[in-house]
A and B are shown apart, each in its own frame.
Chain A
């Protein structure tokens, strides 16, 4: 990735950006996010198949914003999140420089968010068959069995909120689960509290989630919470025709158009 390093260094050198957010070597066989503010630090940038953390999560973090304008290493899942953040008016084009990386590990520049959207039309979110099969099997369960399945899966959740922390779209300054006037969701980690949290999380991401699996990767207990968001993606596609971020279409579930076919909103 010498080209990536060169590009990142040039951006810092020319002071076009103040920090480069990218992947570096981590512990074990893991990678770790690095925040390069010096040209020399760019040499630590790497990119390979282990680079799965969704770096877009840092674009809205206060501590990172303080570092100044960022350039961000953006493989396809990160690009999707960047586009969704743009759809939700969380970032503007002048806020960042995108060091795009294609599925073939080629560097790619993007002049605008619209260019990302055009690029992503050839990189549509596809839910792998192993997941659709599992989801279908869960959906085919009788209600009681399905409920029991999720109660059991969520049993080991202790509400560390790593799923929330790792999600680029969980940028709310105060999450609903932390609101206490009124207390919408139980703070306690018991079967009801865990269900409430995960249902709320999935629902809040419905029509927004870009299927990066950061939530699942972050879960220290290995709970398959990504099945919930993947299932919501399918539901959105089934009911509204498509999924994936779109500047034009805005958020599937929270945007209104005069020609919407539903009558309840009129």
Chain B
């Protein structure tokens, strides 16, 4: 649909928030914790922080929780019964304060969980998520959204995108029919379109590389010293993958309590040595360098070869959170 522009006054934001809460929505919004902002289940508007470039954790947790029940079972002597978790009631979630990069991440994430095997638990959750994103007026050296076809005011993935204008009010770009519905339900809060220039309000994020060139280079870079060189300080943790809004690798684990139990989907990371370890002891990705290569190739070669877009939205979370200061841009720009 054609994007429609409105103006929303600053005080109306709180009213919108309260209306959504009053309407039974679960709202995830950035909440301060020490120096960090974390997407958290927020009930009170004043708990929301505006002081963040991106949150430390990613918004994927609302569609791809770190632990997801796939089904539960009950075993007895005579029979085993399975209760499908897809039949559960999933919450209506509003993501409030996602950045354009966060919103863009829902596109590759949704691709992964669909295709010829559709993950209905993911889809059930996704359908119930409404994205109210806020454009970026600030960026830092870890941001590179503009290098992966996004940008500080990009609308893709969001239902509504707010951009703070010089007077303190917000431009509201309504991107989807879901967004349009919200506007019509709260028409008193949305005024006729603003003429103010959105671009002036946006952070400047320099283009750091050309994604198509990177993709072409990676085609023949499987055996290259860069992987070991750039991952030498890697501590083999899963921090980069777990804060990444696109990473979606998972493990399947059972938990039993007597004759009952559940099968769970849990986050997993290609950075862990155990990720690919065979029972025999053989490991196709034996070193941290091989694991770093997988991470880069997956995001910038395998995913784009398949679906044209990168498996990365340039939010920079992985680099910011890495305890060893391993920086994805550093690797990409040195290829």
Direct contact, A vs B (beta carbon within 8 Å): yes
Q: Which residues of A contact B (CB under 8 A)?
A: 26-28, 30-33, 35, 53, 57-58, 62-64, 156, 158-162, 164-166, 178, 186-190, 193, 214, 217-218, 220-222
Whether B325 pairs with A162 at a CB distance below 8 angstroms is no
Cross-chain contact of B325 among A32, A188, A190, A220 (Cβ < 8 A): A32
Contacts of A178 in B (CB 8 A): 274
CA distance A62 to B142 in the complex (A): 29
Chain B residue with the shortest CB-CB distance to A180 = B253
Q: Does B264 contact A (CB under 8 A)?
A: yes
Check B235 against A186 for contact (C-beta < 8 Å). Answer: no
User: Is the Cβ of A220 less than 8 Å from the Cβ of B242?
Assistant: yes
Interchain residue pairs with CB less than 8 A apart (18): A27-B330, A33-B232, A58-B233, A159-B242, A159-B267, A160-B237, A160-B238, A161-B237, A162-B238, A162-B239, A165-B239, A188-B66, A188-B253, A193-B67, A220-B239, A220-B323, A221-B33, A222-B33
From B237, B251, B274, B330, contact of A165 by CB (8 A): B237
Q: How far is the CA of A156 from the CA of B39 in the complex (A)?
A: 10
- The answer to whether B35 and A217 touch across the interface, beta carbons within 8 angstroms, is no
A residues less than 8 Å from B289 (CB atoms): 63
Given A63-B288, A218-B239, A220-B321, verify A187-B253 contact (CB < 8 Å): yes
Given A165-B236, A187-B253, A189-B266: A221 and B57 interface contact (C-beta under 8 Å): yes
> CB distance B267 to A189 under 8 Å?
yes
Q: Which residues of A contact B321 (CB under 8 A)?
A: 162, 220
Known: A63-B289, A166-B323, A222-B33. A187 touches B266 (CB 8 A): yes
Cβ 8 A contact of A33, one of B57, B228, B269, B324: B324
Q: CA of A214 to CA of B237 in the docked complex: distance in angstroms?
A: 13
Chain B 318-329 near chain A by CB (<8 Å), digits 1 or 0: 010101110100
A residues less than 8 Å from B234 (CB atoms):
63
Does A221 lie within 8 Å of B56, measured CB to CB? Answer: yes
Residues of chain B with a CB closer than 8 A to A64's CB: 232
**Is B34 engaged at the interface, CB distance under 8 Å to the other chain?**
yes
Contact partners of B7 in chain A: CB under 8 A: none
User: Given A28-B142, A63-B289, A221-B56, are A160 and B235 also a contact pair (CB < 8 Å)?
Assistant: no
Q: How far is the CB of A26 from chain B (nearest CB, A)?
A: 4
Nearest-neighbour CB distance to chain A for B210, whole angstroms, equals 21
Min CB gap A171→B, angstroms: 11
Are A156 and B255 closer than 8 Å at their CB atoms? no
- Chain B residues whose C-beta falls within 8 Å of the C-beta of A33 in the assembled complex: 232-233, 324-325
- Which B residues touch A58, using CB under 8 A? 233
- B63: interface (CB < 8 Å): no
B287 interface residue (CB < 8 Å to A): yes
B313 interface residue (CB < 8 Å to A): no
A249–B41 Cα gap in the complex (Å)? 49
Interface size on B, residues (CB 8 A): 44
CB distance from A79 to the nearest CB of B (A): 20
Decide: B66 and A158 in contact? CB cutoff 8 A: yes
Decide if B241 touches A160 in the complex (CB within 8 Å). yes
Complex CA–CA separation, A178 to B272 (angstroms): 10
Additional A-B contacts beyond A58-B233, A187-B266 (14; CB < 8 A): A27-B325, A28-B140, A33-B233, A63-B228, A63-B289, A158-B242, A160-B238, A160-B239, A162-B321, A165-B235, A187-B251, A187-B253, A217-B323, A218-B323
Known: A64-B232, A188-B264. A26 touches B325 (CB 8 A): yes
What residue in chain A is nearest B67 (Cβ atoms)? A188
Q: How far is the CA of A217 from the CA of B34 in the complex (A)?
A: 13
Q: Which of B15-46 contact A (CB under 8 A)?
A: 33-36, 38
What 9 pairs between A and B have smallest CB-CB spacing? A165-B235, A218-B323, A165-B237, A220-B321, A32-B325, A162-B237, A160-B238, A26-B325, A160-B242
Q: Which residue of A has the minimal Cβ distance to B231?
A: A63
Instruction: Judge whether B188 is part of the interface by a CB distance below 8 angstroms.
Output: no
Known: A158-B267, A187-B253. A63 touches B232 (CB 8 A): yes
The answer to whether A27 touches B141 (Cβ under 8 A) is: yes
Shortest CB distance B239–A (Å): 4
- Asked if A189 and B66 sit within 8 Å, CB to CB, the answer is yes
Q: Given that A158-B66, A220-B243 are contacting pairs, would A27 and B233 also be in contact in the complex, using a CB cutoff of 8 Å?
A: no
Cα A240 to Cα B78 with chains together (Å)? 56
With both beta carbons as reference points, the residue of chain A lying nearest to B326 in the complex is identified as A32
Residues of the B chain whose Cβ atoms lie less than 8 Å from the Cβ of A188: 66-67, 253, 255, 264, 266
CB pair B235 A162 closer than 8 Å:
yes
**Chain A hits for B142, CB < 8 A:** 27-28
A156 near B38 with CB under 8 A, answer yes
A200 CA to B327 CA in the complex, in Å?
31
Interface positions of B from 279 to 299, Cβ below 8 Å from A: 287-289
Question: Within the assembled complex, what's the spacing in Å between the Cα atoms of A164 and B323?
Answer: 11
Residue of A162, A187, A217 with most partner-chain B CB within 10 A:
A162
A161→B238 contact, CB < 8 A: yes
Cβ-closest chain A residue relative to B289: A63
Q: How far is the CA of A193 from the CA of B253 in the complex (A)?
A: 12
Q: Are B141 and A28 in touch, CB under 8 angstroms? A: yes
| Cα-based distance from A162 to B33 in the complex (angstroms) | 18
Residues of A within 8 A of B251 (CB): 187
Residue of A nearest to B236 (CB): A165
- CB nearest to A163 among chain B residues: B237
**Mask: chain B, 245-286; 1 = CB below 8 Å from A; 0 = not:** 000000101010000000010110100101000000000000
